[in-house]
Amino acid sequence: MVIQILRWLKQPNVWRPVCCASCIVGLVCYALSSSFNHLFGKWTLLKLFLYTVFSLIIWISILFANVWQHSPSLRLKAHLAFLVLIITSVYSFFFDKVVNGKPDPYTLISSAAFAIMSLGLSRQTHYGFEIDLLYFFNGCLTIQLMMIKLFLLVVGACFSYSLITLRSFLDTSPENHHLGLQNHVIIQVDFEQTNTGTGNTDRESLPQNGDLRFQNHIVTHMDSHSSQHNSDTDLIKPQLMASIKALKKKNRKLIHIFSKHMEKYLEAIVDSKKLTQLQLLTDVNLVMDVIPSKTIGDLQETVKLVAAAGFGKECFHVYSSCRREFLQQCLLRFGLQELNMEDVDRMEKIENWRKAFNVAVKILFTNERRLCDCVFHGIPFAADISFMEVCRDLTIHLLSFANTFTSESRSLNLLCSIIPQVWETLLELIPEFKSLFSDQYSVSLRSELFTVLKKLKEDVRGLFTELKNLICHDLARVVVPGGRLHPITCVVMNCLRDITPNHVLEEYSLGPDRVGNSSLFSVQIAWITEHLDYRLEANSKNYMNPALGYVFMINNRRYVAEVIGKNHRLQAILGKDWTRKHTAKIQQNLEDYQRSTWNKVVEFLKVENDGLVAPSINVAKSMKDGLNLFNHYFEEICHIQAKWFIYDEQQREQIRISLENMLLPAYGSFVTRFQDVLGNQADKHIKYGMFQIADKLNNLFLGSKEIEQAAAAKEK
């Protein structure tokens, strides 16, 4: 029965209602005491209201003290300490004012209740002032008893001694010493750890995931050990329990600090001006600076004792479980851990993965490595084993995500965007990753990384194969109306743009093989651009109107030149000679378009008479016929080509200016000569003025929808 009571009293949750109830009793009894009435007089509504508010604040502080103690805010803890200081000071002041009077039972009960409240508070929280409150109220009770009768000092001393001894006993007395446990070590930890990784040889000998939940306690069977070790474990167990709890207690503060640290780090990654700050933010001593040296020192000594007692594996596993919880909470706090295989097409998931992997390797893992080396110093291989245990689940999760999302069926454009980002992230972190996981126990993690890299190499080769098939087999099937950009041109060039942001893929994805002076990667790029142009040229022949075929080529070649012009890697791969030839092709398409369409129209504006002789009737008739033909063909061409489309405004403006330079001088000269020949009768034959010709040319290549929008805008 006594053992059950002691076990019951050791539960922190038992003391919470005791603490709250004793607080209420103390406040109520003090309000009814003669000393209170002597100091403040009779009760009034205002006094009752103020005392009620004051009591409510005290009671809420006691009720939620266990929650607030985990807050990383030092201000909150400072405010609570200040509140306790002020309350005890005021209480002491008023107590001294009535010291000459004899206390009544209410005063004694309130002091005893406040002392019990302080004991209950010390069992739940660790602010540092709980034991001082216990001493203070015990002293007040003892003095009050002495004021009644001097010999009542014995009663006050016994009461105080019982509370202080009980607190000391509950904090330090090992349960198994009283219970005579010989075959078990019970380590109580008050948090839950979910383990999702796969085990290795050492871990398979331990209880599985379902048995190690850290909800109430961890029971590790040690029946194989002799009874000689039992007395040692009885002494080691409370030390290990206290050390793990102390380490876990700092997790909340660490998470708060790490969140701000990771945010600054990720900002520095995207800002080239903050490279110096980026180096500072990868400090490996961040955890060591926050956790008190005494906590780490106690854990070092305890780990050595546990390992010497033959329970090293169990100790390493308990420690690793605690630190895994910390890593997961860090990433969750920053919104980086919620990575799943659903919605992997969404680019924000990929960006979250990049952030998570950077933060894990550069900050979290490096700090955990430093902590493991310190805690397990002097124990062979212990730091390596524990570090691998701590980081394994998170590492496998991150690498598996990278390995899986490229395997699913998704758009080619998205895949071309994803693969370079994954490549760049992994290859940037490979040196540090290999350095962190360089020991023999981390072989599986290194293998996992290189499996992902190998898979990505295959994906890059598959991308080039798919692009070739797209160009050779699918491009000719579609004739784009209006001479617009071919959709396959956009897909291919966007993929080439995204897949060559830097030298990463060129160096690693297709291997170091060389063809002449170029890498295999460069040869693939050159082949794709060359055959894309060839297939587009063939596709342009499918248009009934040759001029539309030239517009089609202007659009597509212009887009190819635009993508390559904005990508330094593509420019370097294809070279200046390619750029020069490609630009010449676009200019040739423009000249062919003008020749096939407008040269015939300009022919109608030529005057056979040189103007040196008087115009004849035949000349006048010829000019009338030429003007009528010009008006007819000009109107028909503008009507048709207004529905054609050139996507690039600069290119469209260039063509318009070129046509104006061709048509307006010839048309102006013809109209002037025509007016000289026909005189006043010329005006009824002239349908377009110079400004009308220019306005018609401005409406070319806008597309049917664009024409409607322009007309609607004019009406408004």
- Please name the amino acid found at residue 601: V
Cα gap 95→36, rounded to integer Å? 9
pLDDT of amino acid 89: 65
Total number of residues shown for the chain:
716
Q: What is the radius of gyration, based on Cα positions, of the chain?
A: 43
Decide which of 490 and 35 is more confident. 490
Range among 3-7, 94-98, 442-446, 617-621 rated most confident: 442-446
Quick one: average pLDDT of 150-175?
Answer: 71
Binned at pLDDT 50, 70 and 90, residue 187 comes out as very low
pLDDT of amino acid 612: 44
Quick one: average pLDDT of 298-319?
Answer: 83
Kindly tell me if the per-residue pLDDT of 248 is higher than 60: yes
pLDDT of amino acid 69: 53
Kindly tell me if the per-residue pLDDT of 182 is higher than 90: no
Binned at pLDDT 50, 70 and 90, residue 550 comes out as very high
CB contact at 8 A, 189 and 217: yes
pLDDT of amino acid 425: 85
pLDDT of amino acid 534: 94
pLDDT of amino acid 294: 83
466 token code pair: 């798919």
pLDDT of amino acid 113: 82
CB contact at 8 A, 261 and 286: yes
Quick one: average pLDDT of 675-683?
Answer: 78
Kindly tell me if the per-residue pLDDT of 591 is higher than 90: yes
Decide which of 509 and 299 is more confident. 299
pLDDT of amino acid 547: 94
How open is the CA angle 383-243-287, to the nearest 5 degrees?
A: 60
600 token code pair: 């015939």
pLDDT of amino acid 96: 58
Binned at pLDDT 50, 70 and 90, residue 49 comes out as confident
Binned at pLDDT 50, 70 and 90, residue 178 comes out as very low
Ramachandran region, residue 600 (left: φ > 0; alpha: ψ -120 to 50; beta: rest): alpha
pLDDT of amino acid 488: 93
Quick one: average pLDDT of 608-629?
Answer: 70
Ramachandran region, residue 230 (left: φ > 0; alpha: ψ -120 to 50; beta: rest): alpha
Cα gap 394→388, rounded to integer Å? 10
Q: Which residue has the tokens 């969404």?
A: 346
Lowest pLDDT segment from 411-425, 469-483, 636-650: 411-425
Supply the DSSP string of 566-600, one letter for each residue: T-HHHHHHHHHHHHHHHHHHHHHHHHHHHHHHHHH
Binned at pLDDT 50, 70 and 90, residue 175 comes out as very low
441 token code pair: 């126990």
Lowest pLDDT segment from 191-200, 616-625, 657-666: 191-200
Range among 324-328, 440-444, 605-609 rated most confident: 440-444
pLDDT in tens, 486-537: 999 999 998 888 887 554 455 555 555 544 445 678 888 999 999 999 999 9
pLDDT of amino acid 584: 96
Kindly tell me if the per-residue pLDDT of 165 is higher than 90: no
Quick one: average pLDDT of 230-244?
Answer: 64
Quick one: average pLDDT of 536-549?
Answer: 93
Decide which of 684 and 130 is more confident. 684
Cα gap 438→446, rounded to integer Å? 8
Lowest pLDDT segment from 166-175, 300-309, 629-638: 166-175
Lowest pLDDT segment from 121-130, 137-146, 217-226: 217-226
Kindly tell me if the per-residue pLDDT of 221 is higher than 70: no
Contacting residues for 112 by C-beta, under 8 A, at least 6 apart? 26, 137, 141, 159
Kindly tell me if the per-residue pLDDT of 369 is higher than 80: yes
CB contact at 8 A, 88 and 136: yes
Side-chain half-sphere CA neighbours of 555 within 13 A: 25
Quick one: average pLDDT of 106-129?
Answer: 76
Binned at pLDDT 50, 70 and 90, residue 415 comes out as confident
What is the pLDDT of the chain when averaged over all its residues? 75
